[in-house]
């Protein structure tokens, strides 16, 4: 029986991606690595058809948080001021990062199950005191897809640049790089792109790093240095070569399957099947379906059913679901639609939910 991961990454791997991990040993200072790295950077831009003279994909070894931290530490200049939008764990994490780097910042805190508060944000940005907004695209805490279109309009009107945590949306949700005033997006290999954990990346506007005299906040997470070295075919530090191989294969499979639009439809189809089955069993979604990402949704735990019980029964049947976070730990569970899941797996999943929850 296959073990299927329905947690929000890492995902169930395809055989091709798993096999790529065992490609030939390779030193990160050899030409073959430079070719692998530049190919990956080109493919990551191709996910959203971004021109390479304006945009760069910068590869890091680390998890999604490394990319988010590198983005905030490297893209907000020393004299910049950041407005952080929080409606879940990952917005709150960006606040902790800004705090740790002693960056000038302020937060707009919204309830976890609420949409972001655009009126307050508009008023704050209109005051003209902020250079950048940091926002999570898909807030995985609740499965909410934050309204970046509306936020983008406000940022464009107020001349504010956007820094987006797209860790759990890159590759499956639309990101309008031409209309929203985005300076950078942080993401990872092991979620919507179906790679393995270990590679993260930031897609950034090249002109963000046109400040040669800017003092870096970090040694390891300095994107300006990664960009300069990667453009020259190198890397400042040892990269996780095997996870690069895996991402390369995952991206080949991603494009062969039809790219972002196809992946979005695939996840939407799976989530619709899961939500319909759960609703028939009386299990309701935490958020209205129109507010949810295609990647993951949160559901209310049925009366009298503890999360551990549901988790363990699902695990015995080969499915790993995910707990709610923070105060939602006792009342909600989450299911993601990512990964190499086939029709047989989906049918088994729906049967398992029926058996346990009926």
Q: Give the alpha-carbon dihedral of 94, 116, 262, 315, to 10 degrees.
A: 70
Are 83 and 121 contacting, i.e. CB atoms less than 8 angstroms apart?
Answer: yes
Q: Is 65 in the site for ligand PLP (CB under 6 A)?
A: yes
Q: Is 7 in the site for ligand PLP (CB under 6 A)?
A: no
Closer CB to ligand PLP, 165 or 248, in the complex: 165
Are 8 and 336 contacting, i.e. CB atoms less than 8 angstroms apart?
Answer: yes
Per CB under 6 A, which of residues 177..206 are in contact with ligand PLP? 188
Q: Phi, psi (5° rounding) for residue 149? A: -65, -50
| 58-66, 221-229, 284-292, 301-309 -> range binding ligand PLP (CB under 6 A) | 58-66
Q: Are strands 322-323 and 198-205 parallel, antiparallel or unpaired?
A: unpaired
Are 171 and 193 contacting, i.e. CB atoms less than 8 angstroms apart?
Answer: yes
Q: What whole-number distance in Å separates Cα of residue 174 and Cα of residue 192?
A: 12
Q: Is 324 in the site for ligand PLP (CB under 6 A)?
A: no
Q: Is 63 in the site for ligand PLP (CB under 6 A)?
A: yes
Q: Which two tokens stand for residue 146?
A: 């934050």
Site string for ligand PLP, 86-125 (x = CB under 6 A): ----x-----------------------------------
Q: What whole-number distance in Å separates Cα of residue 105 and Cα of residue 123?
A: 16
DSSP tag of 302: P
Q: Is 292 in the site for ligand PLP (CB under 6 A)?
A: no
| 29-37, 119-127, 163-171, 248-256 -> range binding ligand PLP (CB under 6 A) | 163-171
Q: What whole-number distance in Å separates Cα of residue 268 and Cα of residue 219?
A: 40
Q: Is 64 in the site for ligand PLP (CB under 6 A)?
A: yes
Closer CB to ligand PLP, 105 or 144, in the complex: 144
- When CB distances to ligand PLP are compared, the closest residue is 64
Q: Is 218 in the site for ligand PLP (CB under 6 A)?
A: no
Per CB under 6 A, which of residues 121..140 are in contact with ligand PLP? 136, 138, 140
CA distances 37 to 58, 198, 242, Å, are 10, 14, 12
Closer CB to ligand PLP, 140 or 160, in the complex: 140
| 63-71, 110-118, 210-218, 247-255 -> range binding ligand PLP (CB under 6 A) | 63-71
Q: Is 332 in the site for ligand PLP (CB under 6 A)?
A: no
Q: Is 168 in the site for ligand PLP (CB under 6 A)?
A: yes
User: Which residues, at least 6 apart from 76, have a Cβ–Cβ distance to it below 8 Å?
Assistant: 82, 103, 131, 132, 163
Closer CB to ligand PLP, 136 or 227, in the complex: 136
Q: What whole-number distance in Å separates Cα of residue 58 and Cα of residue 37?
A: 10
Q: What whole-number distance in Å separates Cα of residue 143 and Cα of residue 113?
A: 9
3-state secondary structure of 211: coil
Closer CB to ligand PLP, 38 or 65, in the complex: 65
Chain residues that interact with ligand PLP, rule: CB under 6 A = 8-9, 63-65, 68, 90, 136, 138, 140, 165, 167-168, 188
């Amino acid at each position: 029986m296959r073990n299927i991961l329905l947690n929000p990454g890492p995902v169930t791997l395809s055989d091709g991606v798993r096999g790529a991990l065992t490609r030939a040993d390779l030193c990160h200072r050899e030409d073959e690595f430079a070719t692998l790295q530049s190919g990956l950077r080109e493919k990551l831009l191709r996910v959203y058809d971004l021109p390479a003279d304006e945009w760069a994909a910068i590869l890091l070894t680390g998890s999604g948080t490394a990319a988010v931290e590198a983005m905030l530490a490297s893209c907000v200049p020393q004299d910049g001021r950041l407005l952080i939008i929080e409606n879940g764990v990952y917005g709150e994490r960006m606040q902790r990062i800004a705090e740790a780097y002693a960056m000038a910042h302020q937060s707009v805190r919204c309830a976890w199950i609420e949409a972001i508060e655009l009126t307050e944000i508009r008023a704050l940005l209109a005051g003209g005191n902020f250079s950048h907004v940091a926002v999570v695209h898909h807030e995985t805490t609740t499965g909410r897809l934050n309204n970046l279109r509306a936020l983008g309009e406000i940022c464009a009107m107020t001349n504010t640049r956007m820094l987006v945590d797209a860790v759990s949306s890159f590759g499956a949700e639309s990101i309008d790089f031409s209309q929203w005033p985005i300076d950078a997006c942080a993401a990872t290999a092991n979620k919507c792109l179906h790679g393995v954990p270990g590679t993260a990346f930031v897609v950034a506007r090249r002109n963000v790093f046109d400040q040669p005299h800017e003092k870096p906040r970090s040694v390891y997470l300095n994107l300006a240095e990664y960009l300069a070295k990667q453009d020259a075919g190198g890397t400042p530090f040892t990269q996780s070569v095997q996870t690069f191989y895996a991402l390369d294969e995952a991206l080949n499979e991603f494009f062969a399957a039809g790219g972002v639009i196809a992946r979005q439809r695939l996840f939407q189809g799976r989530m619709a099947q899961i939500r319909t089955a759960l609703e028939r069993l009386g299990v309701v979604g935490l958020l209205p379906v129109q507010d949810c990402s295609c990647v993951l949704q949160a559901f209310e735990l049925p009366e009298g059913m503890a999360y551990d019980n549901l988790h363990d029964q699902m695990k015995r049947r080969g499915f790993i679901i995910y707990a709610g976070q923070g105060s939602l730990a006792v009342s909600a569970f989450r299911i993601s639609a990512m990964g190499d899941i086939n029709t047989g797996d989906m049918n088994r999943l729906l049967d398992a939910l029926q058996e346990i929850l009926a």
